[in-house]
């Protein structure tokens, strides 16, 4: 599956190709017209103006197409898939215990980012921990399964893990702090979970 960064690169390359193609076509048209119609300068200028008048239309259609494609792709901010995850609880635990232990307290000389990190951590906890009054239904279902699960059970049995930790609501809370998302949330809840 193409992630959002790769999709942006593809969109940029398509736009670059289209612009080069249009520019080359206009230069070629201009060179041919000048080469064979030197004596007809007025007519040549009229032809160039007419061919150049198509550029805004073509560029507009291209940009509209790219925007529509971007909206279609971007409408699912959560580009993670659920279909093939076979990570077990023991694999998940083994992975996150090997990570360098990082907390919001590790942020030095940036009180704004540290506060955002604490805020993200708190909000993710409110949505995911079963003892919270704001726990989502999906996270509650995951924790109910977790209480009786064996280490050999897959963490995503019943799709509860995916719909808890990969939900837009939880990820939006994690995204509030770049540090929290990249150093804490993503390594533990996405990468170690096999997504």
More confident residue, 130 or 25: 130
Name 115's Cβ contacts closer than 8 Å, sequence gap at least 6.
none
Model pLDDT, residue 195 = 86
Name 132's Cβ contacts closer than 8 Å, sequence gap at least 6.
125, 126
Model pLDDT, residue 62 = 59
Tell me the three-class secondary structure of 39-74, residue by residue: CCHHHHHHHHHHHHCHHHHHHHHHHHHHHHHHHHHH
Degrees, nearest 5: CA angle 89-94-96: 95
> Is 21 a residue whose pLDDT tops 50?
no
| Percentage of the chain exceeding pLDDT 90 | 49
Model pLDDT, residue 101 = 79
Tell me, yes or no, whether 50 and 102 share the same domain: no
- The number of folded domains in the chain is 2
| Average pLDDT of the residues in 87-114 | 92
Residues 154-183 have pLDDT tens digits of 999 989 999 999 999 999 999 999 999 999
| Average pLDDT of the residues in 53-80 | 53
Q: Which domain holds residue 13?
A: 4-74
Among 97, 20, 111, which Cα is nearest to 58's?
A: 20
* Residue that is last in its domain, among 19, 41, 74: 74
* Residue that is last in its domain, among 39, 74, 109: 74
CA distance 106 to 182: 13
What is the model's pTM?
0.57
CA distance 178 to 56: 39
The mean predicted confidence, pLDDT, of the chain is 75
Tell me, yes or no, whether 180 and 122 share the same domain: yes
Among 112, 136, 132, 124, which Cα is nearest to 172's?
A: 124
């Amino acid at each position: 599956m193409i992630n959002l960064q790769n999709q942006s690169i593809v969109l940029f390359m398509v736009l670059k190709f289209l612009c080069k193609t249009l520019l080359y076509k206009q230069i070629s048209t201009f060179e041919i017209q000048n080469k064979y119609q030197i004596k007809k300068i007025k007519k040549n200028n009229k032809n160039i103006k007419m061919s150049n008048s198509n550029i805004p239309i073509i560029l507009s259609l291209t940009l509209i197409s790219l925007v529509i494609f971007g909206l279609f792709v971007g409408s699912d901010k959560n580009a993670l898939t659920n279909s093939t995850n076979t990570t077990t609880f023991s694999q998940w635990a083994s992975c996150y215990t090997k990570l360098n232990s990082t907390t919001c307290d590790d942020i030095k000389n940036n009180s704004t980012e540290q506060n955002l990190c604490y805020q993200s951590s708190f909000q993710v906890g409110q949505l995911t921990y079963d003892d919270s009054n704001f726990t989502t239904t999906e996270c509650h279902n995951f924790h109910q399964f977790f209480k009786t699960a064996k280490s050999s059970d897959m963490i995503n049995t019943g799709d509860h893990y995916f719909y808890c930790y990969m939900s837009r609501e939880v990820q939006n809370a994690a995204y509030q702090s770049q540090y929290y998302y990249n150093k804490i949330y993503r390594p533990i809840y996405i990468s170690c979970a096999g997504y």
